[in-house]
Structure 1
Amino acid sequence: MHAAIKLSKYLKPYKHFAILAPILMILEVAMDLIQPTIMQKIIDEGIATKDPTHIMVMFAAMMVCAIIGWFGGAGCTYFSSKAAVNFASDIRADLYETITYFSNSNKDKFTLGKLITNLTNDVEMLQRALNMLLKIFVRGPFMFVGAVVVVFFTARDLFSVLFYVVPVLIVCLYVFIKLSISLFRKVQETIDVVNTRVQENLSGIRVIKAFNRMRHQVKQFAGVNEELAKRNMTADQVIAALTPITQFVVNIGIVLALMLGVVKVEAGAIEIGVIVAFINYLMMIMNGLMSSSNVLIQIARAIPSAERVVVVLEEQRDIINAENPVKKEIRGDVRFENVSFSYNKQVEPVLKNITFEAKAGSTVGIIGMTGSGKSTLIKLLARLMDVDEGTIYIDDIPIRQYDIETLRGSLAFAPQKATLFSTTIEENLKYGKSDATEEEIQEALVASNAYEFVEKLDKKTQHELTQGATNLSGGQKQRLAMSRALIRKPKILVLDDTTSAVDSITEKVIRKNMKEALEGSTKFIVSSKISSIKHADLILVLEDGRIVAQGTHEELLKTSEHYREIVATQVEKGGVLYE
């Protein structure tokens, strides 16, 4: 309930819809409550006395009530839907924005499958619950209370039957609703597992096929899918059992009403029409309780969703701006002082006491074995993560003092795994610079040596990429990712092994073009190939998270045994050292 109160702020902009919907539903309920009384009068005052005029007048009154009730119901549906849809849309938008600004450590607290469930299933559940709350939950209690009041005043001789029926119905509803909350929370947890499994399998489909593990993955998915089916079945069976039980209780009430009614009719205390009206009101009481229970069950299903959504919305971001952040233009001087970092604070750091300095406009090459911390080091530059110890300075200002948008706006990043979006090539490049001109796009494509293959495409830069850019080769994706970084002409450029899927000749062309296009930029080039970084002004050699050597290519050949071993290994394997 605490979570629902927190989410109620999203309903405030649409409170006029949320108020109109119940008012119109009350109008519909009022018309429904009048009709059994009209039917009673038709029977007792029209049919019993053979008065056709009275029958026609009452029939006309019944039609008017039906039309007014229809108007109220239709209006309620319209306004409740508007309130619920907009309420859910705003929550979904805030969720998406929150997740977008999460740091890596924030995202690690939630699986990708769970976040997808939050944005889709959980928000949909909240929308459905609010829609039912504004419509049916208003209808149910008002119909229940209204029917009881009408029976008290028009069929008081049969009112005692309600003392047997209503308490039993209420107890049944309480038990079923309490049980359903627990069951549907388990259902939502299992949906998380299913979504996570689907996401992992689809993103890794090539690996699955390459290792011929399709049957294994299908079997694994069948397991979690079966678990979801079992939990859904259990929850649905519990809810399904509610209807026959309540119907049985109401049928007993009808029998009691008929038995008592016969006695009262024979005694001349009531007329037959009263019994007919009472049975109709008894059915309304049951329907009121049943519709209320359906809403309560839906709310019970939505409560876990609300809790999960609030947890994400209230997650405190690790990477935030300092008070009065620095927004000055960045030149590109970078200095690491005794920087250490660990993904898991309980284990040994990934980076240990990293210290080096790069002047604006210089090129820094980073090389080392897999797992030595190369990619982690450059991620710290964009504050994708914050250091545990030490300080990173940019232009002699600690990186944490910079405005995050200013910092990242001055930096361009091309990761090893080229991430492209399912839109046109032009739009992908404009992620680097939203107002890029056609000339700037062409310059960036030429600089990354991507212009040639893009020009051969039917629609050139308007060519639509599929999800994951599966309609491009690995080398083409890497070159477009570099184009996206280069188009920004950043003060600091980070290339994380971005030429791993291109040949040495293409790499040489890219390096030459990049030097000309970004002469004043500070460049960080991570690579496993000596040929990619040997021209750098400063080369960092990493091993087990430490800098074991740093200097130019020539200096390291003289002073670093570790660097010479890397060079010798690549030459032995036929690697290109000198072009």
Structure 2
Amino acid sequence: MRAALKLSKYLKPYKHFAILAPILMVLEVGMDLIQPTIMQKIIDKGIATNDTQYIIMMFAAMILCAMIGWLGGAGCTYFSSKAAVNFASDVRADLYETITYFANSNKDKFTLGKLITNLTNDIEMLQRALNMLLKIFVRGPFMFVGAVIVVFFTARDLFPVLFFVVPVLIISLYIIIQLSIKLFRKVQESIDQVNTRVQENLAGIRVIKAFNRMRYQMKQFATVNHQLTKRNMTADQVVAALMPITQFVVNIGIVLALMLGVVKVDAGAIEIGVIVAFINYLMMILNGLMSSSNVLIQIARAIPSAERVVVVLEEQSDITNIENPVKKEIQGNVKFDKVSFSYNKHVEPVLKEISFEAKAGSTVGIIGMTGSGKSTLIKLLGRLMDVDEGTIYIDNIPIQQYDIDMLRNAMAFAPQKAILFSTTIEENLKYGKIDATKEDIQEALFASNAFEFVEKLDHKEQHELTQGATNLSGGQKQRLAMSRAIIRKPKILILDDTTSAVDSITEKIIQRNMKEALKDSTKFIVSSKISSIKHADLILVLGDGRIVAQGTHEELLKMSEYYKEIVATQVERGGAIDE
């Protein structure tokens, strides 16, 4: 109930549709309820007395009722669909926005598979439930109540039959709905697992093929798929049991009505048309209950979805603005003061008491063994995560005091794994600067040395990228990711091992171009190659989450054995150190 109240605000903009739909459905139900009575009169007054004119007149009345009912039903379908579709669209948009602003820790809490299910299957369930609620759920109860009332006034002698039929139907309906809520909650959990497995497998398809583990992954998927199938079948079997139960009860009611009706007809208490009308109304009662049960079962399926969606909507991002955040322009001076961070608070920190200072416009190189904390350090700089201890200052102001949008607008980030979107190269670059001109785009492409391959494409900057940019090489993707960062002309530029798929000659060209294009930017370059950072004004050497040495390339060669060992290793392996 709390989840339904929380989501009800999304229906308010479409309340006129939500009001019109039930009103029109009441009109349709009213016309349906009149028709058995008209049939009764045709039998008892028209056919019994052989009054042809009366039969034609009542038949015309029946056709008129059917047409009015059809218009009411069509109108109800139109308005209920508009309300439900727009409601679902708004919830999905708000949910997507909430997820977009999540910190990494929030996304890890829910998992990608579950969030995908929230945006797709759960929203679809809510849309379907609302549509049925506005349309069929109005029809069912009104038809049920209306039929009972009409029977009470027109066939009171047969009314006692309903004392058996109605309670049994309602009890059966209640039991099945309670079971459905529990079962469909398990179904949604299984859908989460299937989506998570699919997402992981598609993202890692190259690894799976490289290790020839396709059959293993198929077995893993078959396990979660079988569980989903099993739970779906159990839930559907419980729901399917409702129809034969209710049909059996109604058939017993019809037999009782006929037995009682024969006695009453022989006694002259009622006429045959009344029995026919009663059986029609009894079927309406069945249809009303079945319609209501279908909606209630759909609501039972939607309740877990609503709860899951509301949990995500109510989740507060771990990274938020303080009250009255700083909105001054950033110059690019960066200082880390005894910064420590851990992904898991119960284990040893990934970063331990990191301290250094970088002046605006300088270049900072970061190098270290795998797992030393290089990528974590630069994620903290962009407030993708918050520090556990210590403080990060930008222009002598703690970054937590800055407005998050202003902080990130002053930065540009090119990750090691180049993430490009399935649109044109131009649109990908405009993620960095939405109002970028053609000159801006070409300048950024030139700075990352991507211009040379983009110019050879048939449509140049309008070249369409596939999902994951699989129609480009690894080096080409990295250069476009750098172009997207460079085009922003940021005050702080972060490059996380962005030349790992680039040859040494191209890397040297990129370094020269960036130095000219981003003179005033503070540049952080994470790399495993000495050649990528040897020109930096400050090099941070990380080891086991600590800064084991810092200084220029020349200084580190004199004072740091650890750094000299890295250099020696790369020279031994043929690395280009002194280009």
Q: For residues 238 and 361 of structure 2, what CA distance do their matches in structure 1 show?
A: 69
User: Letter of the aligned partner of 1:60 in structure 2?
Assistant: A
Paired with 2:106 and 2:384, the residues of 1 have a C-alpha distance of: 11
> What is the aligned partner in structure 2 of residue 415 from structure 1?
415
Quote the residue 1:258 is aligned against: 258
Q: Provide the C-alpha distance between the structure 1 equivalents of 2:526 and 2:164, rounded to a whole number of angstroms.
A: 79
User: 1:164 and 2:170 equivalent?
Assistant: no
Local SS of the residue matching 2:332: coil
Deviation of the 1:360 alpha carbon: 0.3
Equivalent residue number for residue 85 of structure 1 = 85
1:232 Cα offset (Å): 0.6
Q: Distance in 1 between matches of 2:311 and 2:207?
A: 34
CA positional deviation for 1:395? 0.3
1:385 alignment partner in structure 2:
385
Q: CA deviation at 1:222?
A: 1.1
Give, in whole Å, the separation in 2 of the partners of 1:248 and 1:237.
17
Q: Counterpart of 2:58 in 1: which secondary structure?
A: helix
Counterpart CA distance in 2 for 1:479 and 1:202 is 24
Deviation at 1:88, TM superposition (A): 0.2
| 1:46 positional shift | 0.2
CA distance in structure 1 between the partners assigned to 2:458 and 2:109 by the alignment: 44
Distance 1:192 1:275 in 2: 52
Q: CA–CA distance in 1 between the matches of 2:490 and 2:226?
A: 51
Q: Which residue of 2 aligns with 1:455?
A: 455
The one-letter amino acid paired with 2:514 is M
Structure 1 segment 165-204 matched on structure 2, within 5 A: 165-204=165-204
Which residue is equivalent to 2:361?
361
Q: Secondary structure at the match of 2:241?
A: helix
**What is the CA deviation profile of residues 350-382 of structure 1, one whole-angstrom value per residue up to 9, with x for unaligned ones?**
100000000001000000000000000001111
For 1:360, give the aligned amino acid. A
Q: Distance in 2 between matches of 1:410 and 1:163?
A: 74
Q: Which residue of 2 aligns with 1:335?
A: 335
How far apart are 1:43 and its partner, in Å?
0.1
Letter in 2 for 1:120: T
Who is 2:73 aligned against? 73
**In structure 2, C-alpha distance between the alignment counterparts of 1:577 and 1:262, rounded to whole Å:** 106
Tell me whether 1:269 sits opposite 2:265 in the alignment. no
Q: Distance in 1 between matches of 2:347 and 2:291?
A: 55
Letter of the structure 1 residue corresponding to residue 189 of structure 2:
E
RMSD: 0.5
User: Where do residues 520-531 of structure 1 align in structure 2 (5 Å cutoff)?
Assistant: 520-531=520-531
| Cα deviation 1:223-248 (Å, max 9, x = unaligned) | 11111111111111111111011000
Partner of 1:372: 372
SS in 1 for 2:442: helix
**2:137 is equivalent to residue 137 of structure 1:** yes
Partner residue of 1:109?
A: 109
The residue type equivalent to 1:504 in the other structure is: S
Q: Deviations over 1:398-423 (max 9, x none)?
A: 10111111111110000000000000
Alpha-carbon shift at residue 526 of structure 1 (Å) = 0.3
- Mapped to 1, the partners of 2:426 and 2:396 lie a distance apart of 36
Distance in 1, Cα, partners of 2:164 & 2:334: 81
The one-letter amino acid of 1:5's match is L
Question: What is the identity, as a one-letter code, of the residue corresponding to 1:575?
Answer: G
C-alpha distance after superposition, 1:438-483 (max 9, x if no partner): 0110000000000000000000000000000000000000000000
Distance 2:294 2:531 in 1: 68
Quote the Cα distance in structure 2 between the aligned partners of 1:52 and 1:473.
85
Q: Which residue of 2 aligns with 1:425?
A: 425
Rounded to whole Å, the distance in 1 between the matches of 2:233 and 2:322 is 51
Q: Structure 2 stretches of 5 or more lacking a match?
A: none
Give the C-alpha shift of residue 219 in structure 1. 1.3
Instruction: Tell me how far apart the structure 2 counterparts of residues 466 and 127 of structure 1 sit (CA, whole Å).
Output: 31
Match of 2:214, as an amino acid?
M
Once the two structures are superposed, residues 320-339 of structure 1 have per-residue CA deviations (whole angstroms, 9 ceiling, x without a partner) of: 11111111111100000010
Quick check: 1:578 aligned with 2:568?
no
Aligned to 1:321, the other structure's residue is in SS state: coil
* Deviation (angstroms), 1:218: 1.0
Aligned residue for 1:511?
511
Alignment of 1:34-45 (within 5 A): 34-45=34-45
Tell whether 2:323 aligns with 1:317. Answer: no
Find the counterpart in structure 1 of residue 471 from structure 2: 471
1:540-559 aligned within 5 A: 540-559=540-559
What is the CA distance between 1:213 and its match in structure 2?
A: 0.7
Find the residue that maps to 1:222 and give its secondary structure: helix
Aligned to 2:213: 213
Letter in 1 for 2:487: I
Unaligned runs of 5+ in 1: none
Cα distance in 2 for residues equivalent to 1:440 and 1:83: 44
Letter in 2 for 1:331: Q
The answer to whether 1:151 aligns with 2:135 is no
- The size of the alignment, in residue pairs, is 579
Paired amino acid for 2:371:
G
The residue type equivalent to 2:202 in the other structure is L
2:344 and 2:102 map into 1 onto residues whose CA distance is: 17
Aligned to 1:222: 222
Q: How does 1:485-504 map to 2 (within 5 A)?
A: 485-504=485-504
Q: Secondary structure of the equivalent of 2:110?
A: coil
- Secondary structure of the equivalent of 1:251? helix
Amino acid at match of 1:90: D
Q: Percent of counterpart pairs with the same letter?
A: 86
- Counterpart-to-counterpart distance in 2, 1:381 and 1:111: 24
Residues 491-539 of structure 1: per-residue CA shift (max 9 Å, x gap)? 0000000000001000000000000000111000000001110110000
How many Å apart are 1:48 and its aligned residue? 0.3
Runs of 4+ in 1 over 6 A off after TM superposition: none
Offset of 1:96 from its aligned partner?
0.4
Matched, 1:562 2:548: no
Give the distance between the partners of 2:348 and 2:95, measured in 1 at CA: 34
Which whole-Å deviations, capped at 9, do the CAs of 1:171-196 have from their partners, x for residues lacking one?
Answer: 00001000010010000000000000
Once the two structures are superposed, residues 71-92 of structure 1 have per-residue CA deviations (whole angstroms, 9 ceiling, x without a partner) of 1000000000000000000000
- Mapped partners of 2:263, 2:457: distance in 1: 90
Distance in 2 of aligned mates of 1:88 and 1:53:
52
SS class of match (1:109): helix
Deviation, structure 1 residue 545:
0.5
1:9 maps onto 2:9 in alignment: yes
Q: Aligned to 1:423, what secondary structure does the other structure show?
A: coil
Question: How far off its partner does 1:346 sit?
Answer: 1.2
Alignment of 1:239-254 (within 5 A): 239-254=239-254
2:59 corresponds to which residue? 59
Cα distance in 1, alignment partners of residues 305 and 410 from structure 2: 39
Cα displacement (A) at 1:5: 1.1
Q: Matches of 1:149 and 1:577 in 2, distance apart?
A: 93
Query: Which residue of 2 is the match for residue 128 of structure 1?
Result: 128
Q: CA deviation at 1:220?
A: 1.1
- Give me the whole-angstrom Cα distance separating, in 2, the residues matched to 1:489 and 1:225: 48
Does the residue aligned with 1:548 lie in a helix, a strand or coil?
strand
Tell whether 2:233 aligns with 1:233.
yes
For 1:113 and 1:350, the matched residues in 2 are separated by 27
